[in-house]
Structure 1
Amino acid sequence: MTKGQNVIPSNLASLHGGEEQLREKALGIIAGDQRLRLHLAIVEAAMDLANIFRQFDTADEDLKVAQVLGMRTFNAFGASLKLALSGYHQNSALILRDVLEIVFLLTLFSGDRALIERWRLADKRARMKEFSPVKVREVLDARDGFTSKRRAEMYELFSELAGHPTMKSAWMMRPQKDGDAVIGPFMEATALEAVISEMGRLAVQVGEQINAFLPADWTSGLPSRLAFAQHKRDWLSIFYPAARN
Structure 2
Amino acid sequence: MMATGSTSIPANLYSLHGAEEQLREKAIGIIANDYRLQLHLEIVEAAMNLADIFRQFETINEDLKVAQVLSMRMFNAFGASLKLVLSGYHQNSALILRDILETVFLLNLFARDRTLIARWRQADKKARMKDFSPVKVREALDARDGFTAKRRAEIYELFSELAGHPTMKSAWMMRPEKDGDAVIGPFMAATTLEAVVSEMGRLAVQVGEQVNAFLPADWMRGLPSRVSFAQLKRQWIGTFYPSPEERS
If the length of structure 2 is used for normalisation, what is the TM-score? 0.96
AA in 2 matched with 1:105: L
Query: Runs of 4 or more off by more than 3 Å in structure 1?
Result: none
Q: Find the residue that maps to 1:241 and give its secondary structure.
A: coil
AA in 1 matched with 2:199: E
Q: Is the 8 A contact 1:173 1:182 kept in 2?
A: yes
Q: Find the residue that maps to 1:93 and give its secondary structure.
A: helix
If the length of structure 1 is used for normalisation, what is the TM-score? 0.97
Q: Which residue of 2 aligns with 1:60?
A: 61
Q: How big is the alpha-carbon RMSD for the aligned residues of Structure 1 and Structure 2?
A: 1.5
1:234 aligns to 2:235 (yes or no): yes
Q: How many residues align?
A: 243
- Percentage identity across paired residues of the two chains: 79
1:123 aligns to 2:124 (yes or no): yes
Please, which moves more after superposition, 233-242 or 121-130? 233-242
1:114 aligns to 2:115 (yes or no): yes
Q: Find the residue that maps to 1:175 and give its secondary structure.
A: coil
Q: Which residue of 2 aligns with 1:210?
A: 211
Unaligned runs of 5+ in 1: none
Mapping for residues 5-154 of structure 1, pairs under 5 Å: 5-154=6-155
Q: Is the 8 A contact 1:236 1:243 kept in 2?
A: no
Q: CA distance change for structure 1 residues 94 and 9 in 2, over 3 Å: closer, same or farther? A: same
1:192-240 Cα offsets, whole Å, 9 max, x none, are 0000000000000000000000000000000000010111111111001
Distance in structure 2 (CA, Å) of the matches to 1:6 and 1:242: 58
Distance in structure 2 (CA, Å) of the matches to 1:108 and 1:31: 37
Distance in structure 2 (CA, Å) of the matches to 1:195 and 1:4: 35
Q: Which residue of 2 aligns with 1:165?
A: 166
Distance in structure 1 (CA, Å) of the matches to 2:242 and 2:209: 18
Q: Is the 8 A contact 1:84 1:195 kept in 2?
A: yes
1:6: Cα distance to partner?
3.4
Q: Is the 8 A contact 1:49 1:210 kept in 2?
A: yes
1:158: Cα distance to partner?
0.2
1:153-200 Cα offsets, whole Å, 9 max, x none, are 000000000000000000000000000000000000000000000000
Q: Find the residue that maps to 1:58 and give its secondary structure.
A: coil
